[in-house]
Amino acid sequence: MALRRVARFVGAIGLGLCPLLAAQEAQDAAAQIERAQELACRGRHAEARALYKKLAAEFAGTEEGKLAAKRALPSALLGACMLVENGPSAKRVDIVLLGDGFELDHQRAFDELAEDVPPLFERVEPFREYWSYLNFVRGVCLSADGGIDGFGRDYDTLLGGFTLDTDAGHASVDGEKVRDALEQIPGSDALALVFVRLGLLGTAGGGIAVIGGREANTVIHEWGHAFGGLGDEYSSRTSKHRTASAGINVALTDDPKKVPWRHWLEARHPSVGVYEGASGQPMHAWRPTASGCAMNDGQAFCPVCREALVLRLYSIVDPIEEVTPLAPPPGIREPIVLWQDPIEIRVRTLKPATHDLEVRWWIESAGMYPITPGPGGPAEARELIAPTKETPGDRTQRGPLRALPVAPYKEHDTGKDGVATLRLARDDLKPGLYRVTCRVKDTTRLRGERFPWVLKDERGLLESERVWWLEVR
Ligand SMILES: [Zn+2]
């Protein structure tokens, strides 16, 4: 025992710092990095770089020192600045705008380019309706050189932009370098729009859309690929090597019972069919709409693509923004006590531009939910107590919510302020322990539209719930 205590003491001396001082130092370093980032965001790039250089030396060997050293390199991400903030990063889709081949003198040009992006999204559905679900972040991206790799030339740029071997020479970037930049941005959803200064056209995949030059008209199309996993609905060949690949909006069959958008055909949406020519192939590949989709030649997304984009938004954004009182985590039954004074449970939801989310409340006897699942307990209860697989920022793993066995206690829309309230007084319920559930769902039904925007939601992404326990005395 005594020996171990001595060893621990020697260990602390060996570090040369008491842990408290080390924590203080890390805090200082983080604050200084924040300051350098602010300088970069305000266009004071040279000062930001000088500060990073100083911090790299001062905090050498620490995480902060390593980050500062990376940011003092000739090609570096100097910081990330909020361009449009509709809510906290953890509860929104953060679209990060990055640039490649922008030297120190080009920074103002990139800033202007970045500022033009949010208005493009604001004009196109479903991003207009779900505008408040998005944040835009501008990266301050410094490249040592202003060129683009290809044709035997090699430049030092932040994201390794290069020209692809396509007929038209599409611009692309080094995905690894983009991911490294995104990892430096807190709250990032690993989604980026990258502008390659001297590039042409665009490419996309895995959450990253690449735009050559200033081709604003390709931004939305490439974002459809990067964010929605959508395929091309045009039929002209872009490369002789290209083959068709099937996906959400591209089929390799014209059988209406087998195409991925068959649920739209079954629902008889007037503008959805099966048309030959897609994925850069004039034949043997089919698309859902004749023309007009942003994945083809148009400005707006077709119903099939729009559905996929709405579901993608909800794979990241929970329709419930916040609740008071806080709902306890699954497995904890700390109850709210309802005795003399009435209580209020308040739920704030996200707010699409023109339609309300649907809110339903249930009050069930806690006896329906035995704590230790065992023989005789209802199967649904057992399922419910099982630990959830959901990880923060990924709503796709939870699966649809099970149907509750009783009718809702109350049903309403969130209304203008996006707040739903359940008010309960002691006389409303008999004494006992209850389970209160609030479910918020986006029906995706917009006023004046015959069809909801989402017809099929197999993973239950449009819906979310919170659960409280209530003790009535
Ligand atoms: Zn489409």
User: What are the C-alpha distances in Å from 192 to residues 183, 291, 294?
Assistant: 11, 27, 19
* Cα 305 to averaged position of ligand 1 atoms, centre (Å): 4
Q: For residue 290, what is the DSSP state?
A: S
pLDDT (tens digit per residue) in 230-261: 999 998 877 667 787 889 999 999 999 999 99
**The pLDDT of residue 467:** 95
Six token digits for residue 432: 């006992």
Angle, alpha carbons 240-290-448 (nearest 5°):
140
Among residues 120, 126, 37, 131, the alpha carbon closest in space to that of 92 is found at 131
* Cα 247 to averaged position of ligand 1 atoms, centre (Å): 11
pLDDT-derived band of residue 331, with 50, 70 and 90 as boundaries? confident
Residues 343-370 have a mean pLDDT of 94
Under 8 Å between Cβ of 265 and 273: yes
Percentages of the chain per state (helix, strand, coil), in multiples of 5:
30, 25, 45
**The pLDDT of residue 385:** 39
* Cα 236 to averaged position of ligand 1 atoms, centre (Å): 16
pLDDT-derived band of residue 153, with 50, 70 and 90 as boundaries? confident
Q: For residue 108, what is the DSSP state?
A: H
pLDDT-derived band of residue 393, with 50, 70 and 90 as boundaries? low
In this predicted model, which residue has the larger pLDDT, 22 or 206? 206
Architecture of domain 318-472: Sandwich (2.60)
* Cα 312 to averaged position of ligand 1 atoms, centre (Å): 15
* Cα 262 to averaged position of ligand 1 atoms, centre (Å): 14
Which residues are within 8 A (CB) of 192 and not within 5 positions of it... i.e. 6 or more apart?
95, 96, 97, 98, 178, 181, 182, 207, 208, 209, 226
Under 8 Å between Cβ of 263 and 245: no
pLDDT-derived band of residue 1, with 50, 70 and 90 as boundaries? very low
* Cα 283 to averaged position of ligand 1 atoms, centre (Å): 17
Under 8 Å between Cβ of 201 and 170: yes
* Cα 289 to averaged position of ligand 1 atoms, centre (Å): 7
* Cα 439 to averaged position of ligand 1 atoms, centre (Å): 31
Least confident interval from 207-211, 328-332, 378-382, 407-411: 378-382
* Cα 277 to averaged position of ligand 1 atoms, centre (Å): 13
* Cα 426 to averaged position of ligand 1 atoms, centre (Å): 53
* Cα 249 to averaged position of ligand 1 atoms, centre (Å): 6
Six token digits for residue 287: 């698309």
Under 8 Å between Cβ of 40 and 72: no
In this predicted model, which residue has the larger pLDDT, 422 or 215? 422
Number of residues in the chain: 473
Cis (ω within 30 of 0) for the bond into 288?
Answer: no
Give the CA count within 13 Å in the CB-facing half-sphere of 374. Answer: 3
- What gap in Å lies between CA 434 and CA 449, rounded to an integer? 39
* Cα 245 to averaged position of ligand 1 atoms, centre (Å): 15
pLDDT (tens digit per residue) in 121-152: 999 999 999 999 999 999 999 998 888 888 77
Under 8 Å between Cβ of 409 and 399: no
* Cα 349 to averaged position of ligand 1 atoms, centre (Å): 29
* Cα 382 to averaged position of ligand 1 atoms, centre (Å): 41
Strands 343-349 and 320-324: antiparallel
Q: Which helix (H) or strand (E) holds 278?
A: strand 275-278
* Cα 261 to averaged position of ligand 1 atoms, centre (Å): 10
Cis (ω within 30 of 0) for the bond into 325?
Answer: yes
Residues 174-183 have a mean pLDDT of 93
Give the CA count within 13 Å in the CB-facing half-sphere of 428. Answer: 18
Under 8 Å between Cβ of 473 and 426: yes
**73 has pLDDT over 50:** yes
- What gap in Å lies between CA 201 and CA 306, rounded to an integer? 23
* Cα 454 to averaged position of ligand 1 atoms, centre (Å): 14
User: What are the C-alpha distances in Å from 144 to residues 69, 160, 270?
Assistant: 15, 11, 53
* Cα 393 to averaged position of ligand 1 atoms, centre (Å): 26
* Cα 163 to averaged position of ligand 1 atoms, centre (Å): 27
Among residues 40, 109, 28, 38, the alpha carbon closest in space to that of 64 is found at 28
pLDDT-derived band of residue 377, with 50, 70 and 90 as boundaries? very low
* Cα 288 to averaged position of ligand 1 atoms, centre (Å): 7
- What gap in Å lies between CA 124 and CA 129, rounded to an integer? 9
Least confident interval from 112-116, 294-298, 356-360, 369-373: 369-373
Q: What residues does each domain of the chain span?
A: 229-317, 318-472
* Cα 428 to averaged position of ligand 1 atoms, centre (Å): 50
Phi, psi dihedral angles at 293 (to 5 degrees)? -80, 145
Least confident interval from 30-39, 204-213, 443-452: 204-213
- What gap in Å lies between CA 38 and CA 7, rounded to an integer? 44
Following DSSP, what letter does each residue of 196-217 receive, concatenated?
ETT--SEEEETTEEEEETT-GG
Residues 163-180 have a mean pLDDT of 85
Question: Residue holding tokens 């990139």?
Answer: 110
Percent with pLDDT over 70 in the chain:
90
- For the CA atoms of 454, 458, 461, 464, the dihedral, rounded to the nearest 10 degrees, stands at 110
Residues 429-455 have a mean pLDDT of 96
**The pLDDT of residue 80:** 96
Following DSSP, what letter does each residue of 109-170 receive, concatenated?
HHHHHHHTHHHHHHHSTTTTTTGGGEEEEEEEEE-S----BBTTB----TT--EE-SSSS--
**375 has pLDDT over 50:** no
- What gap in Å lies between CA 276 and CA 204, rounded to an integer? 23
* Cα 294 to averaged position of ligand 1 atoms, centre (Å): 6
Cα 442–chain centre separation: 17
* Cα 212 to averaged position of ligand 1 atoms, centre (Å): 22
**293 has pLDDT over 80:** yes
**415 has pLDDT over 80:** no
Question: What's the whole-number average pLDDT of the chain?
Answer: 88
* Cα 297 to averaged position of ligand 1 atoms, centre (Å): 10
Q: Which of 27-31, 235-239, 284-288 has the highest mean pLDDT?
A: 284-288
pLDDT-derived band of residue 372, with 50, 70 and 90 as boundaries? low
Percent with pLDDT over 90 in the chain:
68
In this predicted model, which residue has the larger pLDDT, 25 or 44? 44
Residues 269-289 have a mean pLDDT of 94
Residues 194-211 have a mean pLDDT of 87
Q: For residue 42, what is the DSSP state?
A: T
* Cα 291 to averaged position of ligand 1 atoms, centre (Å): 9
- What gap in Å lies between CA 209 and CA 199, rounded to an integer? 13
Under 8 Å between Cβ of 58 and 96: no
**441 has pLDDT over 60:** yes
**The pLDDT of residue 312:** 96
* Cα 228 to averaged position of ligand 1 atoms, centre (Å): 11
**The pLDDT of residue 135:** 97
Residues 258-280 have a mean pLDDT of 96
* Cα 287 to averaged position of ligand 1 atoms, centre (Å): 7
* Cα 191 to averaged position of ligand 1 atoms, centre (Å): 21
Q: pTM of the prediction?
A: 0.88
**The pLDDT of residue 20:** 62
**The pLDDT of residue 162:** 83
**The pLDDT of residue 145:** 85
**The pLDDT of residue 151:** 75
**The pLDDT of residue 113:** 93
* Cα 363 to averaged position of ligand 1 atoms, centre (Å): 42
* Cα 238 to averaged position of ligand 1 atoms, centre (Å): 18
**The pLDDT of residue 245:** 84
**33 has pLDDT over 90:** yes
* Cα 112 to averaged position of ligand 1 atoms, centre (Å): 30
pLDDT-derived band of residue 19, with 50, 70 and 90 as boundaries? low
* Cα 308 to averaged position of ligand 1 atoms, centre (Å): 9
* Cα 190 to averaged position of ligand 1 atoms, centre (Å): 24
